[in-house]
């Protein structure tokens, strides 16, 4: 049987799984698990590039910039997922982290493969967000050649935006258009061309590392505690109280009292308690320290 697209690693056949349809269940699972173990190593090799993307994005966001993920299929869905999770985890403002998926909201739940071939549509979608010079545009495509993503990135390039590209192919078309290329090479998939597997796992890891580190550098974490979480339900309100207790050593009664005074803004409540000041004063102290609790508490 002939191999498929020898030049593109994401489309190569994996010699370890060529007879996977003849294997027993445990053997199949072992092959998949063995291949998945390669993903973290591939991502580790890209830490320096991820660092560059983080540092520039942090400065951009301090100057009213946004993160705009754009992708198609699995890659685009992972961008949407990361963007959606930033708000409850870090209480990021609406519209500060955006996910654009080829095919729109419907494509999140139902495959719309044809739209990913439209460069013009990618350019139009990114343009609709009225790019400012401090936005980070983050293209995501396992193959590094998806036209929808390339069209968007080329349009952002005209606006002189900082562009990050995430693909699982060496020297991809996407990487040549970017300021920073992140390319974890995970090798051929267990199922030939099924980039929702190792490539998707690598992309999810990179996006988690990128967005989490950006938010840490922006002061949304104290120690390893999510001090900017958005406590909109009972579980998160309880978590906010626990974090308050850990940082201040206060009792549960005081934790609840100060959080209620601060309308469950955790950082404000902590500063009110530790500095013995009112909420308006706590807001000013935090603003004067760029919202970084570490700078306030020492």
CATH number of the CATH domain containing 280: 1.10.8.1080
Residue 34: inside a domain: no
Pairing of strands 180-182, 162-166: parallel
Domain boundary among 185, 217, 249: 217
Contact status, residue 73 vs residue 113, Cβ threshold 8 Å:
yes
**Measured between alpha carbons, how far is 202 from 16 in angstroms, rounded to an integer?**
20
201 and 125 in a common domain? yes
Q: Of 130, 173, 134, 125, which is closest to residue 150 (Cα–Cα)? A: 173
- Examine the domain organization and report whether 143 and 244 are in the same domain: no
CATH (domain of 65): 3.40.50.10490
Identify whether residues 65 and 128 lie together within a single domain: yes
pLDDT in tens, 210-235: 999 999 999 999 999 999 988 888 99
Residues 135 and 252 in one domain: no
Name residue 67's beta-bridge partners. 97, 136
pTM for this one?
0.90
Residue 116 known to be catalytic: yes
Phi then psi for 160, rounded to 5 degrees? Answer: 60, 30
Whether 118 contacts 147, CB under 8 Å: yes
Least Cα distance to 67 among 20, 131, 116 occurs for: 131
Note if 85 is an active site residue.
yes
Residue among 74, 72, 253, 94 nearest 83 (CA) = 94
Q: What is the pLDDT of residue 6?
A: 54
- Whether pLDDT at 3 is above 60: no
Whether residues 174 and 288 share a domain: the answer is: no
Contact 86, 97 (CB under 8 A): yes
150, 285: one domain? no
Is there a single domain that holds both residue 135 and residue 196? yes
Q: How far apart are CA 160 and CA 39, in angstroms?
A: 32
Query: What is the predicted pLDDT for the residue at 8?
Result: 84
For residues 146 and 240, state if they share a domain: no
| pLDDT of 95 higher than 60 | yes
Annotate 87-135 with three-state secondary structure.
Answer: HHHHCCCCCCEEEEECCCHHHHCCCCHHHHHCHHHHHHHHHCCCCCCCC
Residues of the domain holding 282: 234-297
pLDDT score of 84: 94
Mean pLDDT taken over the chain: 93
- Which residue in the list 116, 189, 268, 274 is annotated as catalytic? 116
């Amino acid at each position: 049987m002939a191999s498929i697209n020898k030049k593109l690693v994401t489309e190569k056949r994996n010699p370890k799984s060529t007879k996977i349809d003849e294997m027993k269940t445990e053997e199949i699972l072992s092959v998949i698990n063995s291949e998945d173990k390669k993903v973290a190593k591939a991502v580790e090799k890209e830490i320096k590039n991820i660092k560059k993307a983080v540092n520039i994005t942090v400065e951009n966001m301090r100057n009213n910039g946004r993160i705009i993920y754009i992708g198609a299929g699995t890659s685009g869905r992972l961008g949407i997922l990361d963007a959606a999770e930033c708000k409850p985890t870090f209480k990021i403002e609406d519209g500060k982290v955006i996910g654009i998926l080829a095919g729109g909201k419907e494509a999140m739940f139902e495959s719309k493969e044809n739209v990913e071939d439209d460069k013009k549509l990618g350019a139009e979608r990114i343009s609709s967000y009225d790019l400012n010079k401090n936005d980070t545009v983050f293209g995501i495509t396992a193959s590094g050649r998806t036209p929808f993503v390339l069209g968007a990135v080329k349009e952002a390039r005209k606006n002189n935006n900082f562009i990050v590209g995430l693909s699982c192919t060496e020297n991809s078309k996407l990487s040549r258009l970017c300021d920073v290329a992140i390319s974890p090479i995970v090798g051929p998939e267990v199922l030939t061309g099924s980039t929702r597997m190792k490539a998707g796992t690598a992309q999810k890891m990179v996006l988690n590392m990128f967005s989490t580190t950006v938010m840490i550098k922006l002061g949304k974490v104290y120690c390893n505690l999510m001090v900017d979480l958005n406590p909109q339900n009972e579980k998160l309100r309880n978590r906010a109280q626990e974090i308050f207790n850990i940082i201040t050593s206060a009792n549960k009664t005081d934790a609840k009292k100060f959080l209620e005074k601060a309308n469950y803004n955790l950082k404000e409540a902590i500063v009110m308690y530790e500095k013995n000041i009112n909420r308006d004063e706590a807001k000013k102290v935090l603003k004067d320290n760029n919202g970084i609790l570490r700078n306030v508490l020492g």
